[in-house]
Amino acid sequence: MKRISKMDGVLLLNEIRFTLHEERPPLHEERKVLIMIQSIWELFNKEELFECYQCARCTGSCPAAMVMDSYGPRETLLRCLNLGQEAVITDERVWYCTTCHVCEDRCPQEINISELLTAIFNLAAQRGNLPEKIKFAVDMIAKTGRGLIVNEKVMKDRQKLSLPPLDPLNLDELEGIFKKTGLHEVIDLS
């Protein structure tokens, strides 16, 4: 893989910053992503740390990458560095991450990939780039307090297993959490 010089990295970061400032002032999460990119870029520019590009331990131990050939934390990190955050937050593959943190546990350079991905998730959500399945799950939780549909079959299966019936949940507490976290501003929960 072709190595990128430190000067190219600085130019890339400046280009990302210019693009962000040109469109609108950076949001809190955009700043966080830029800071993470800059700190990761600084790591990658130390000659002895260029092996990060090649070890791929993060992808080799990623449970999502094991079942999705088109995904890997290493690839996401490199796309973010080489193409900028817009290319990553608009790519649905970023949502394949399970946030299990195995990538950073296995990284010999201790790069906090999970924190970068969480910032990317938040920024993508703020921009409305959420997969339909996630929107559906959040909507289910908002309306029922549960992430799954509880229908007659589920209730009969619970009865067969001698499990107690599921009582209705108090949704006021959930609504308070959604408001406090700003989720209601990201997803229409009406």
Mind spelling out the 3-state secondary structure of 62-84?
CHHHHHCCCCCHHHHHHHHHHHC
Spell out the domain ranges in the chain: 6-126, 132-186
Distance from C-alpha of 47 to C-alpha of 45, rounded to nearest angstrom = 6
The Cα 72–Cα 63 span in angstroms is 9
- What distance in Å separates the CA atoms of residue 67 and residue 90, rounded to the nearest whole number? 21
126 three-state secondary structure: helix
What CATH number labels 6-126? 1.10.1060
In angstroms, the CA 18 to CA 6 distance is: 18
Residue 94 CA from chain centroid, whole number:
6
pLDDT score at 16: 46
pLDDT score at 41: 52
Q: Are the C-beta atoms of 111 and 78 separated by less than 8 Å?
A: no
pLDDT score recorded for residue 36: 62
Q: What is the pLDDT along the chain (190 residues), one digit of tens a residue?
A: 444 444 444 444 444 444 444 444 455 666 666 666 655 555 444 444 445 667 889 999 999 999 998 899 888 877 877 777 778 888 888 899 999 999 989 988 877 788 778 888 888 887 788 888 888 888 888 888 898 888 999 999 999 999 998 888 888 988 888 888 878 777 777 6
Query: Cα torsion at 161, 165, 166, 170 (round to 10°)?
Result: -160
Q: Are 148 and 138 in contact (CB under 8 A)?
A: no
For residue 101, what pLDDT is reported?
92
* pTM attached to this predicted model: 0.62
CA separation for the pair 101, 81 (Å, rounded) = 20
Q: Annotate 29-40 with DSSP letters as a single string.
A: HHHHHHHHHHHH
What is the model's pLDDT at position 12? 47
pLDDT for res 39: 53
Nearest Cα to 35, choosing from 110, 94, 74, 85? 85
Which candidate, 122, 138, 150, 126, places its Cα nearest to that of 189?
Answer: 138
Q: Is the dihedral of CA 87, 91, 97, 103 positive or negative?
A: negative
